Amino acid sequence: MKKIIILSLFLCLSCQQAKTITESQEATFGIVIHGGAGTILRANMTSETEAAYRKVLAEAIQVGHSILKNGGSSQEAVEKTIHVMENSPLFNAGKGAVLTADETIELDASFMHGATLDAGAISGVKTIKHPISAAIKVMEDSPHVMLSGAGADAFAASQGLEIVEPEYFLTERRINSLKRVKEAEAKEKKISSLEKEYVSQQRYGTVGCVALDLEGNLAAGTSTGGMTNKKWNRIGDAPIIGAGTYANNATCAISATGWGEFFIRSVVAHDISALMEYKGLSIQEAAHTVIHDKVGSLGGDGGVVGIDHRGNVAMEMNTPGMYRAHMDAVGSLNVKIYKDE
């Protein structure tokens, strides 16, 4: 009798434990996006402009969220969410991208899948309507990870991706930005702090998305026009796997935005993952350390968005603002622009 009681007690405890393990492993999903970091100040923003940014951020993230909610993959969620931002002239990606010193537009993008560690990237392309899709095609349909320039444009065309005239990406706003940045550059250090803020605001605006799907797969993507007034086919961090984009199911998915040279030197996206993997840091601690202690101490500025394999998120920046949004499995939407809101 005593034996039976002890056995049932043991079985009962094991059931309880199994239940707790199942509950703690219950599938969840989530998505985080950014639309660039920089000197984004309330004082420089009209309520109409602010509302326009909030609207597109909400529209974009809802596209990815509904894919994830219906059991779609994090890869599809990242791609389709970024399409919305690439279509919007507000962001420095796809239509509305910033101009080079030669008044052309050169686009960069990258994508990484957390389950397989497969990745794809393109840089300096001029005719691909959705650079993020070209990065995914490089990953899926080429033996390479990164293609650049005219070759990358030709590859995308051969894969049946939508090709547009280079003028499609041009906007009046970015033409004016280039003029202002060139004027400021000509005046060199004599520019006022207000002008410096303006220049900094015009510099950034990359878009990025990270997602966790119901299967537990993470994915990250980043798409950009780079920095206003860039010369010599300059390439930033956005198309560099490990710098601007990284995903690993064991840790997190990260997309970065900011002063690319510093993000490359700090290997930002991979460093956040490595701090989680080797030091056991949470995604928030890791993102904070890399953005503030590493990028910040080198003199760089910008931010990241990230999500880990449990759905915890990070939206970290050392700039006054970063366009960003987050949606969890419950569907609560969180859109923010300034550091404090």
Binding mask 240-279 for ligand ASP (x = CB under 6 A): -----------------xx-x--x----------------
Please select the residue that binds ligand ASP; options are 119, 125, 227, 274, rule is CB under 6 A: 227
Q: CB of 206: closest distance to ligand ASP in angstroms? A: 3
Please select the residue that binds ligand ASP; options are 72, 226, 242, 320, rule is CB under 6 A: 226
Q: CB of 224: closest distance to ligand ASP in angstroms? A: 5
**Binding flag, residue 238, ligand ASP (CB under 6 A):** yes
Q: Which is nearer to ligand ASP, 89 or 311 (CB)?
A: 89
**Binding flag, residue 205, ligand ASP (CB under 6 A):** yes
Q: CB of 262: closest distance to ligand ASP in angstroms? A: 9
Answer for the pair 53, 90: CB distance below 8 angstroms, yes or no. yes
Neighbours of 175 (CB within 10 A): 11
Please select the residue that binds ligand ASP; options are 92, 127, 249, 266, rule is CB under 6 A: 92
Q: CB of 288: closest distance to ligand ASP in angstroms? A: 19
Query: What is the CA 282 to chain-centroid distance, rounded?
Result: 19
Token pair for residue 240? Answer: 């560099």
Taking CA atoms, 339 is separated from 47, 131, 300, 318, in Å, by 17, 29, 17, 9
Label each residue of 72-138 as H, E or C.
CCHHHHHHHHHHHHHHCCCCCCCCCCCCECCCCCCEEEEEEECCCCCEEEEEEECCECCHHHHHHHH
Q: Which is nearer to ligand ASP, 198 or 204 (CB)?
A: 204
**Binding flag, residue 202, ligand ASP (CB under 6 A):** no
**Binding flag, residue 316, ligand ASP (CB under 6 A):** no
CA distance 55 to 49: 10
39 as an active site residue: the answer is no
Stretch binding ligand ASP (CB under 6 A), from 57-65, 78-86, 236-244, 246-254: 236-244
Answer for the pair 149, 156: CB distance below 8 angstroms, yes or no. no
CA distance 36 to 57: 11
Answer for the pair 313, 326: CB distance below 8 angstroms, yes or no. yes
Q: Measuring CA to CA, which residue among 283, 335, 290, 332 is closest to residue 309? A: 283
Give the DSSP letter string of 161-186: --B--GGGG--HHHHHHHHHHHHHHH
- Compute how many residues bind ligand ASP; rule: CB under 6 A: 15
Residue from 39, 127, 206, 245 carrying the catalytic annotation = 206
User: What residues line the site for ligand ASP (CB under 6 A)?
Assistant: 36, 92, 204-206, 224, 226-227, 236-238, 257-258, 260, 263
- Active-site residues, by number, are 206
